[in-house]
């Protein structure tokens, strides 16, 4: 038996009472990014080579249903580790005792983890594992306390312990297997009641090594923590690109970004021919995953004849919002040999910011020529690019 063969015991057998009171779901079964909380922890353990297997501990009455669910989860995403499911007990320490009783013979050390800490990282797991490999019999992740802590009775402060040597401990807590088994047997015998496993080992007089924990490794306990869980959805920005070109010729007076350009060349177009707002519409639709302007507003439809392109922008913006996106930036480029755009740049940017509900600083307007080259160089027409950046605020379809 080698300590390198660590198994994780993931505890999900609690009643989750504090959270169930408001959310209606027992917290260990809450889903985050489409997976139950305990699965997020399982993933973190699977990224550490020394972890050789997982024991999931579920409430006895849910055991069979949860075993089937874990099977489905592995079928969809194989974490490449053997696993077992065990029934937990009345108190957390009972669940740990029952969980470690299920461990296979070859397991040398145990990482006891609360499923209620779904943001645990492979780095924290590795810190604990390395401490055990280096000879510690017990190692726990902890963070220095930032707040001053006070002992309070009947709303009155009775003591302020010095902060320098206080830490807040997290899980996974790692132990040599034999020590943890002995500790829990002793706790049963002596009637010790504890809220973490290290406390048992401390009572036995064994040293417990502290390794760095992580701020993000929070325990989900209250409805406020649940709100944090929802905020934790990664806000990866999404970017939409739009491009459009129009031909100069007998037609409509030039409008760019909703601003009429006096004495500019005329453009041939079905709608108002605003090449910049058309590119912007496509960029918005790109973010929303909603196709392109021709799909929404076919130029064969007489209803869109001479229509102001700001209507297109507003419709595309609504699509992006329906997709759960918040637009945070637009960068627009007009490519034209003629007319000069610079005098209108400020007005265009302000108008576009207004259309998108953005601050002026969130919109940039650029203009360039193509040095006499190509169709813009020959003054046959102009083109425009738009790049829109959005962040996801909520799942698609969930209107604010
Ligand atoms: N736990 C367990 N068996 C128990 C009690 C708790 O496996 N009999 C687990 C919980 O599922 C959780 C972790 O231990 O992952 C930490 O416990 P806690 O945060 O207190 O969760 P609950 O006991 O489920 O919640 P509550 O105290 O609000 O009822
Ligand atoms: Mg509890």
Q: Is 358 helix (H, G, I), strand (E, B) or coil?
A: coil
**Most confident listed range (11-25, 174-188, 315-329):** 174-188
Q: How much is the pLDDT for 4?
A: 57
Q: How much is the pLDDT for 56?
A: 98
Q: How much is the pLDDT for 372?
A: 96
Angle between helices 122-133 and 37-46 in degrees, nearest 10: 50
Top mutation candidate among 29, 92, 111 for ligand 1, by most atoms within 8 Å of CB: 92
Q: How much is the pLDDT for 126?
A: 96
Q: How much is the pLDDT for 397?
A: 42
- For ligand 1, atom 16, the nearest C-alpha belongs to 114
CATH architecture of 6-230: Alpha-Beta Complex (3.90)
Of 92-101, 316-325, 349-358, minimum mean pLDDT range: 316-325
User: What gap in Å lies between CA 166 and CA 145, rounded to an integer?
Assistant: 6
User: What gap in Å lies between CA 400 and CA 137, rounded to an integer?
Assistant: 50
Q: Indicate the fold that domain 237-392 takes in CATH.
A: 60s Ribosomal Protein L30; Chain: A; (3.30.1330)
Torsion angle (degrees, nearest 10) of CA 115, 201, 4, 116? 10
For the record, the structure tokens of 130 come out as 């390395």
Spacing, Cα 221 to ligand 2 middle (Å): 9
Q: Locate the ligand 1 atom nearest the alpha carbon of residue 27 and give its number.
A: 24
Q: Is 104 helix (H, G, I), strand (E, B) or coil?
A: coil
Does residue 301 have a pLDDT over 90?
A: no
User: What gap in Å lies between CA 232 and CA 40, rounded to an integer?
Assistant: 13
Q: Region 340-369: what's the mean pLDDT?
A: 96
Q: Region 86-94: what's the mean pLDDT?
A: 97
User: What gap in Å lies between CA 347 and CA 332, rounded to an integer?
Assistant: 13
Read off the pTM. 0.66
- 271 within 8 A of 305, measured Cβ to Cβ: yes
Q: Which ligand is nearest to the CA of 222?
A: 1
Does residue 122 have a pLDDT over 50?
A: yes
Q: pLDDT tens, 197-238?
A: 999 999 999 999 999 999 999 998 887 787 777 665 556 789
Top mutation candidate among 12, 17, 91, 116 for ligand 1, by most atoms within 8 Å of CB: 116
Does residue 74 have a pLDDT over 80?
A: yes
- As a residue count, the chain comes to 400
Top mutation candidate among 8, 9, 10, 14 for ligand 1, by most atoms within 8 Å of CB: 14
Q: Locate the ligand 1 atom nearest the alpha carbon of residue 90 and give its number.
A: 8
Kindly provide the residue ranges of all beta strands, DSSP E only, lying in the chain, ordered along the sequence: 6-11, 31-32, 35-36, 51-58, 83-87, 109-114, 138-144, 151-153, 156-159, 167-169, 173-176, 209-212, 238-252, 255-256, 259-260, 267-268, 325-335, 363-368, 381-392
Q: pLDDT tens, 167-177?
A: 999 999 999 99
Q: Locate the ligand 1 atom nearest the alpha carbon of residue 91 and give its number.
A: 8
Q: How much is the pLDDT for 221?
A: 85
DSSP code at position 271: S
Spacing, Cα 21 to ligand 1 middle (Å): 14
Helices then strands, each counted (H, E), the chain:
13, 19
Burial class of residue 397, CB neighbours in 10 A (0-12, 13-18, 19+): exposed
Q: Locate the ligand 1 atom nearest the alpha carbon of residue 26 and give its number.
A: 24
Of 353, 381, 344, 259, nearest to 309 by C-alpha is 259
Domain boundaries of the chain, sorted by first residue: 6-230, 237-392
Reported confidence tier of residue 2, pLDDT bands at 50, 70, 90: low
Torsion angle (degrees, nearest 10) of CA 120, 124, 129, 134? -170
**Most confident listed range (67-76, 287-296, 303-312):** 67-76
Q: How much is the pLDDT for 127?
A: 97
- 155 within 8 A of 206, measured Cβ to Cβ: no
Does residue 385 have a pLDDT over 80?
A: yes
Q: How much is the pLDDT for 398?
A: 41
Q: Please state the φ and ψ torsions of residue 249, each to the nearest 5 degrees.
A: 160, 180
């Amino acid at each position: 038996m080698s300590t390198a063969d660590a198994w994780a015991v993931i505890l999900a057998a609690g009643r989750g009472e504090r959270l169930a009171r408001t959310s209606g779901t027992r917290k260990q079964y809450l889903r985050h990014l489409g997976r139950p909380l305990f699965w997020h922890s399982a993933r973190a353990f699977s990224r550490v080579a020394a972890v050789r297997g997982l024991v999931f501990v579920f409430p006895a009455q849910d055991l069979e249903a949860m075993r089937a669910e874990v099977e489905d989860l592995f079928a969809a995403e194989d974490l490449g580790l053997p696993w077992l499911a065990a029934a937990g007990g009345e108190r957390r320490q009972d669940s740990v005792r029952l969980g470690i009783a299920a461990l296979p013979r070859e397991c040398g050390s145990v990482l006891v983890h609360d499923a209620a800490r779904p943001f645990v990282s492979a780095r924290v797991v590795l810190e604990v594992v390395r401490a055990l490999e280096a000879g510690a019999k017990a190692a726990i992740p902890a963070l220095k306390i930032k707040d001053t802590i006070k002992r309070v009775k009947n709303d009155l402060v009775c003591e302020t312990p010095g902060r320098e040597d206080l830490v807040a401990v997290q899980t996974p807590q790692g132990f040599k297997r034999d020590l943890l088994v002995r500790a829990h047997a002793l706790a049963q015998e002596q009637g010790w009641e504890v809220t973490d496993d290290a406390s048992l080992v401390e009572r036995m007089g064994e040293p417990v090594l502290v390794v760095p924990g992580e701020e993000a490794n929070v325990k989900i306990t209250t409805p406020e923590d649940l709100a944090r869980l929802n905020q934790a959805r990664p806000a990866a920005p999404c970017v939409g690109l739009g491009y459009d070109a129009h031909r100069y010729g007998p037609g409509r007076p030039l409008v760019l970004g909703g601003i009429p350009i006096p004495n500019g060349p005329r453009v041939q177009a079905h709608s108002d021919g605003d090449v910049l707002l058309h590119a912007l519409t496509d960029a918005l639709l790109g973010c929303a995953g909603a196709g392109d302007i021709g799909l929404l507003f076919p130029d064969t439809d007489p209803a869109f004849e001479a229509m102001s392109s700001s209507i297109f922008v507003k419709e595309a913006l609504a699509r992006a919002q329906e997709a759960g996106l918040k637009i945070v930036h637009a960068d627009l480029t007009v490519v034209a040999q003629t007319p000069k755009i610079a005098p209108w740049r400020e007005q265009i940017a302000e108008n576009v910011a207004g259309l998108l509900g953005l601050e002026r600083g969130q919109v940039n307007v650029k203009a360039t020529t193509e040095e006499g080259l190509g169709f813009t160089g020959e003054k046959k027409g102009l083109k425009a690019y738009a790049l829109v950046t959005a962040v996801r605020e909520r799942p698609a379809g969930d209107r604010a």
